[in-house]
């Protein structure tokens, strides 16, 4: 569409809508307008205060969260109760997708570090969507799958590098 018309029909108000926000999330960027409108109906918008726990390690998870505004800290806790920060996530990032397809225990905890609005996408809603709108759900799952496989690819590349590094380190140690 012509940017001129776009400006008239979709004013600054549009940028504030959930619809717009969802279209900026990489996993949903390939969804069309109708699908986005449907997605808008199955996600839950939740408000968190600063320092609130979203979920803790070991909980049975039931879905993923996307950060609309604010910041979330992902951390793990070992048996001695020492916490290790794993990541700081900002606007547009998502987390907790491991528990989306099966009720697995959370492998890390998530805590907000600022007043935060999270968009939750949960397994039960997706299951219902699969029953009612299979075509839409296929698009949705395809987008999620794309992003998750990107992550997997990055992971395996990093692993490869680490392996190479480890082997060269061992060689150096053997040479000395």
Partner 1 sequence: MSDQGGGLNRAQVAVLYLVLTTAIASGIAIYSSASNITALLKTATTGLFLPILLSLIVAFLLDPAVQYFEKRRLNRTLSIFTVYIIFTALVLLLLLIIGPPNWKGMMQALKADFPRYLSRAIEYLNGILAIAQEHFPFINNYDLPGQLRSASKSFLGLILVETPRSALRIGSLMLLVPLFSFFFLRDSRHLMRGLISLTPNRYFEMVLDIYSRVSRQLAHFIRGRILEALIIGIVVWVGLSLTDIRYTPILAVVAGATNLVPYIGPIIGMIPGLVIALVDLGVGGQFWWILCVYLLIAQIIVDNFILIPILISRVSNLHPLWVILAIIMGGKLYGVLGMIIGVPIASILNIIVIEIHRYRKTFNPYNRFFTRQGKLL
Q: Which residues bind partner 1 (CB under 8 A)?
A: 44, 46, 48, 52-63, 79, 103, 120, 122-125, 127-128, 131-135
SS3 83: strand
Burial of residue 114 (number of CB atoms within 10 Å: 0-12, 13-18, 19+): middle
CA geometry: angle 139, 145, 148, nearest 5 deg: 145
Shortest distance (Å) from residue 14 CB to partner 1: 22
Shortest distance (Å) from residue 123 CB to partner 1: 8
Would you list the DSSP string of 103-144?
-PBPSSEEEESSSEEEEEEEHHHHHHHHHH-HHHHHHHHHHH
Nearer to partner 1, 85 or 127 (CB): 127
Nearer to partner 1, 8 or 135 (CB): 135
Shortest distance (Å) from residue 46 CB to partner 1: 6
Shortest distance (Å) from residue 62 CB to partner 1: 5
Nearer to partner 1, 37 or 148 (CB): 37
d(CA 131, CA 2): 37
Nearer to partner 1, 93 or 125 (CB): 125
Shortest distance (Å) from residue 67 CB to partner 1: 14
Nearer to partner 1, 15 or 56 (CB): 56
CA-based nearest residue to 64, from 107, 101, 108, 113:
101
Q: 105: Cβ–Cβ under 8 A, 6 or more apart, which residues?
A: 57, 58, 59, 60, 61
């Amino acid at each position: 569409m012509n940017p001129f018309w776009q400006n008239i029909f979709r004013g600054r108000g549009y940028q504030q809508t959930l619809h717009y926000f969802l279209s900026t999330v990489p996993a949903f960027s390939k969804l069309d307008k109708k699908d986005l409108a449907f997605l808008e109906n199955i996600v839950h918008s939740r408000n968190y205060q600063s320092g609130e726990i979203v979920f803790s390690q070991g909980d049975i998870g039931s879905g993923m969260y996307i950060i609309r505004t604010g910041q979330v800290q992902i951390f793990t806790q070992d048996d001695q109760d020492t916490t290790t920060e794993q990541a700081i996530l900002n606007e547009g990032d998502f987390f907790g997708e491991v528990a989306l397809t099966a009720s697995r225990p959370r492998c890390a905890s998530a805590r907000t570090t600022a007043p935060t609005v999270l968009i939750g996408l949960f397994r039960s809603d997706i299951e219902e969507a699969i029953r009612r709108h299979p075509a839409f759900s296929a698009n949705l799952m395809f987008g999620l799958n794309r992003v998750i496989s990107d992550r997997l690819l990055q992971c395996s590349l990093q692993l490869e590098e680490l392996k190479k590094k480890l082997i060269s380190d061992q060689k150096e140690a053997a040479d000395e």
